[in-house]
């Protein structure tokens, strides 16, 4: 079906948000603040003892805390794809079939990206009259057909890939930074990230966000701001003003600077008197990277971190903010995920989600505005092409367990769970528990340390319902065409759009497509 024919034009002059007492002739502005590798335990309001996030904590005090909220995947690119499509990566194609249950993403050598067949949030909001901008990391493909302005965004300031480097521009090119459809420089060249960790990128991302809000407000446009700074992804960086300020080291410096950006954005909304008409959601793309040890974030009481489907890999520090609508200081224990933001924001804009495909996201407004909890809502934890676990209510069942291979763990010293060791749960071999899934009660045991015995009355009463949820999920699962299977050095950022204007085009090597190797 052609993308422009997915929806019927809306005839609504007014929109009403599910709840009868909230109706308005003005569409609410929408902001998603998506952090990178920030853990559940990094915020003061989530228990971090450093208490270095006063603005994020104040945002929670003025809004709602969602301690049971998840990313769409334990890795960056698939999680971001799940947000913008409202669909699990296994459906939207952001996975690999090169090996079983492997995490895959979009490095420079990846050939694939977000398919045209997927309908993105930015596209739907554009039809409703919204102006959309992404600031920071895109990570859904870097070839021209995958860039943000090809998928509904009006503006783009940031990069297509993570800020890895520096490279020599021979074997590997440095990552380009874009303004809209063209590059304006490269990381480590025009946009410096020094070996000391000093960089002004977060300040640039803050300034871009503030400017976009001011401009759209002045023009009277409803807007969608997708603010996705990546300073907390290794190698972490912060501006000179913030370097050395945190008791947590360089990672904490980056968190403190991002916190200041959150404060500035929310303050501007109040100053412009549009705070009561702006819905803001804060979260992270996946759990903290525990393999960075003291140089990474905290996942609080949860097991393991990024790359895994244990709670530390996918449960995120999440806050919803909408003055005048969300009761200040509320805590919602609704099980939710980043995919729910898709459906919530589509419906807030007076639109409908696509009817020609399964949308995994559900509208969060009943939970946020009325405090309701849907006990039947399920969360599926995928790693690559495998459903590893499921949660419903407070129960979580692991159908597969795996941290990473013993070879990688021993020889390469890659440890996704440093300082933790739960026998029979943290396995270095892919272990299939489908016949008798490992069951945990996340209320009594948030750290997934104590397996509920399979011969217990509790297990026997709970597992049939969970198995029925999984069976239903798999029965209507239509797999997306995997986008993360093929890699080719020729598709790297050698000659991005706009490079010729800057004299920054680099020679493109001969194409040599091969299967990507995903070790974990």
Q: Of 22, 23, 60, whose CA–CA distance to 42 is shortest? A: 60
**Taking the alpha carbons of 131, 66, 327, 229 in that order, is the dihedral positive or negative?**
negative
Q: Of 150, 151, 118, 107, whose CA–CA distance to 486 is shortest? A: 107
313: CB partners within 8 A, 6+ apart: 74, 286, 287, 304, 305, 306, 307, 416
110: CB partners within 8 A, 6+ apart: 141, 142, 483, 484, 486, 487, 491, 516
User: What is the C-alpha separation between 213 and 272, in angstroms, rounded?
Assistant: 9
Residue 278 forms beta bridges with which residues? Answer: 29
User: What is the C-alpha separation between 37 and 139, in angstroms, rounded?
Assistant: 14
Q: Which DSSP state fits 428? A: S
Where do runs of H (alpha helix) occur along 1-75?
54-62
Q: Annotated catalytic residue: which of 16, 100, 139, 304? A: 139
478: CB partners within 8 A, 6+ apart: 91, 357, 358
Q: Of 310, 316, 312, 456, whose CA–CA distance to 396 is shortest? A: 310
Contact 416, 305 (CB under 8 A): yes
Plot region of 119 (φ>0 → left; ψ -120 to 50 → alpha; else → beta): beta
505 is catalytic: no
162 is catalytic: no
Q: Annotated catalytic residue: which of 16, 23, 76, 398? A: 76
Q: Which two tokens stand for residue 502?
A: 């800057």
- Number of Cβ within 10 Å of residue 514's Cβ equals 12
User: What is the C-alpha separation between 225 and 217, in angstroms, rounded?
Assistant: 12
Contact 42, 255 (CB under 8 A): yes
Going through 261-301 in order, the beta strands assigned E by DSSP cover 278-284
Q: Of 86, 28, 32, whose CA–CA distance to 343 is shortest? A: 86
Q: Of 352, 355, 356, whose CA–CA distance to 11 is shortest? A: 352
User: What is the C-alpha separation between 278 and 28, in angstroms, rounded?
Assistant: 5
Q: What is the bridge-based pairing of β-strands 64-65 and 319-321?
A: antiparallel
User: What is the C-alpha separation between 305 and 298, in angstroms, rounded?
Assistant: 9
Contact 68, 338 (CB under 8 A): no
Q: Which DSSP state fits 238? A: B
Q: Which two tokens stand for residue 240?
A: 């000179």
Q: Of 359, 339, 360, whose CA–CA distance to 81 is shortest? A: 339
Contact 131, 30 (CB under 8 A): no
- Number of Cβ within 10 Å of residue 98's Cβ equals 18
Active site members: 76, 139
């Amino acid at each position: 079906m052609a993308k422009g024919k997915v929806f019927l034009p809306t005839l609504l002059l007014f929109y009403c948000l599910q709840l009868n007492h909230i109706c308005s002739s003005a569409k609410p502005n929408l902001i998603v603040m998506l952090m990178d590798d920030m853990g559940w335990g990094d915020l003061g309001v989530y228990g971090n003892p450093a208490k270095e996030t006063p603005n994020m904590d104040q945002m929670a005090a003025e809004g709602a805390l969602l301690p049971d909220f998840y990313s769409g995947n334990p890795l960056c690119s698939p999680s971001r794809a799940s947000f913008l499509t409202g669909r699990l990566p296994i459906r939207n194609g952001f996975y690999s079939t090169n090996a079983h249950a492997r995490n895959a993403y979009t490095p420079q050598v990846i050939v694939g990206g977000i398919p045209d067949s997927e309908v993105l949030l930015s596209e739907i909001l554009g039809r409703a009259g919204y102006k959309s901008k992404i600031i920071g990391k895109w990570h859904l493909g870097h070839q021209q057909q995958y860039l943000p302005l090809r998928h509904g965004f009006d503006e783009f300031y940031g990069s297509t890939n993570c800020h890895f480097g520096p490279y020599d521009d021979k074997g590997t090119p440095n990552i380009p930074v874009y303004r809209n459809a063209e590059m304006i420089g490269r990381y480590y060249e025009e946009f410096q990230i020094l070996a000391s960790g000093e960089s002004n990128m977060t300040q640039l991302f803050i300034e871009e966000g503030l400017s976009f809000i001011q401009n759209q407000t002045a023009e009277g446009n409803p807007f969608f701001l997708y603010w996705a700074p990546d300073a907390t992804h290794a190698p972490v960086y912060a501006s000179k003003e913030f370097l050395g300020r945190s008791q947590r080291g360089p990672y904490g410096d980056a968190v403190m600077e991002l916190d200041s950006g959150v404060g500035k954005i929310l303050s501007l909304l109040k100053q412009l008197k549009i705070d009561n008409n702006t819905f803001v959601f804060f979260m992270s793309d996946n759990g903290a990277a525990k393999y960075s040890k003291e140089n990474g974030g905290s996942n609080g009481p949860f097991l393991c971190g990024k790359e895994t489907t244990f709670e530390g890999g996918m449960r995120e520090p999440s806050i919803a903010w909408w003055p005048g609508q969300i009761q200040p200081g509320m805590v919602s224990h609704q099980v939710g995920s980043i995919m729910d933001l898709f459906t919530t924001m589509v419906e807030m804009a007076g639109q409908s989600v696509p009817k020609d495909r399964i949308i995994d996201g559900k509208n969060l407004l009943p939970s946020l505005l009325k405090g309701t909890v849907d006990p039947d809502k399920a969360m599926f934890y995928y790693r690559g092409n495998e459903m590893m676990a499921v949660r419903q209510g407070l129960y979580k069942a692991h159908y597969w367990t795996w941290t990473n291979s013993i070879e990688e763990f021993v020889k390469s010293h890659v440890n996704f769970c440093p300082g933790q060791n739960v026998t029979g749960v943290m396995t270095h071999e892919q272990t299939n528990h489908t016949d008798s899934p490992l069951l945990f009660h996340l209320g009594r045991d948030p750290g997934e340390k104590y397996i509920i015995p399979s011969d217990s009355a509790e297990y026997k009463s709970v597992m049939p319902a969970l198995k029925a949820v999984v069976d239903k999920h798999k029965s209507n699962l239509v797999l997306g065409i995997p986008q993360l299977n093929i890699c080719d050095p020729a598709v790297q950022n050698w000659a991005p759009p706009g490079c010729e204007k800057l004299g920054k085009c680099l020679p493109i090597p001969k194409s040599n497509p091969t299967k990507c190797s995903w070790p974990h």
